[in-house]
Amino acid sequence: MEPSANVALADQIHALRESAGALWLDDRAVITVRGDDRMTWLNAVVTADLRPLAIGHGLYTAIVAVKGKLLADAYVHRTEDAMRVVVPADQRAALLTHFERFIVMEDVLLEATAERVLTVQGPRALVATEGWADRSIADRLGRGGVDVLVPEGHAAPTADGVTIVSHEAFGQESVAQSRPRWGVDFGSENYVQEAAITARAVSFQKGCYLGQEVVCRLEMRGHVQKQLVVLTQSGKMPEPGADVMADGKVVGRVTSVAAPLDGAPARMLAMVKYAVVEKRPELVIDGGPADWFA
């Protein structure tokens, strides 16, 4: 299930924005949590509040260490008999070890299940995938969407109106919609506030969870040392890794870029020093002026 060579990149992005685009998330893997205490236990080790989560729905969250640094981001999907946690594939083994340490007397069973994750994103994703097995709502790009957990060795479901998209198209639309990605824009060296995922991933009303003290303290303090921001640049398209300059000094680094479409400026995500974010000075990237995105 690969994108057709006949489908232009712009058309793939259009599908994600206006219709339904599908992509195998081969950089993601599944941890299945079973047992009578699965909901309350999992709610105590992730940053989002899972209690309102309905069957057939997913919720974006983060998993942090005791000292507050990110271990992963994730989508938690609720089924009738389990919680399915879609995590970065290269973090799954470490997360299983981490989770096991916090099972004491709870009735919880963890399993690394053999499934692939097919995500379908766009405003028509729900309609296009109606009736698909193991479908769960997961709005990854802000326009509606679902994740489908497909057992290893099984064929992907198909439907009219679903365009197969490339990782390039999905990545560019992630930048365009200000949706940072694990391993691209942020990682285990960051706190949730640095990664700019707090609004989507963290509940400050749910009560205690692992790492809560540090997450709340950083939120109350009002700033961190650096933060992921959205910038734009006209007439140029900088490469990921390009320096962000202010007053002749390096103040940050570009993490990912979306190519300009329809004459719009290139949009990028960049990790920038928080003191600079507060002041918003004039910026330069690759010798050209760059703008703060409103």
Give the pair of three-digit tokens for residue 113.
């299940």
**From CA 39, how far away is CA 54, in angstroms rounded?**
12
Which fold would CATH assign to domain 9-176? Answer: Gyrase A; domain 2 (3.30.1360)
Provide long-range contacts, Cβ within 8 A and 24+ apart, for 1-5.
1/118, 1/156, 1/164, 2/164, 3/163, 3/164, 3/165, 3/166, 3/169, 4/164
Q: How confident is the model at residue 163 (pLDDT cuts 50, 70, 90)?
A: very high
Average pLDDT, the chain: 94
% of the chain surpassing 90 pLDDT:
88
Give the model's pLDDT for residue 264. Answer: 82
Residues of each domain in the chain carrying CATH 3.30.1360.120: 9-176
User: First and final CA of the chain: distance in angstroms?
Assistant: 38
Residue ranges matching CATH 2.40.30.110 in the chain: 225-294
Higher pLDDT, 294 or 232: 232
Please determine, for residue 4, whether its predicted confidence score (pLDDT) is greater than 70. no
Q: pTM of the prediction?
A: 0.94
210: confidence class by pLDDT, cuts 50, 70, 90: very high
Statement: residue 154 has pLDDT above 80 = yes
- For 38-50, how does the pLDDT look when each residue is reduced to its tens digit (9 = 90+)? 999 999 999 999 9
Q: Supply the CATH classification number for the domain 225-294.
A: 2.40.30.110
Gap between the Cα atoms of 62 and 43, Å rounded: 11
pLDDT value of residue 1: 55
In angstroms, the CA 225 to CA 204 distance is: 21
User: Which one-letter DSSP state was computed for residue 178?
Assistant: T
Mean pLDDT score, 257-272? 89
Beta strand residue intervals within 35-96, DSSP E: 58-64, 70-78, 83-88
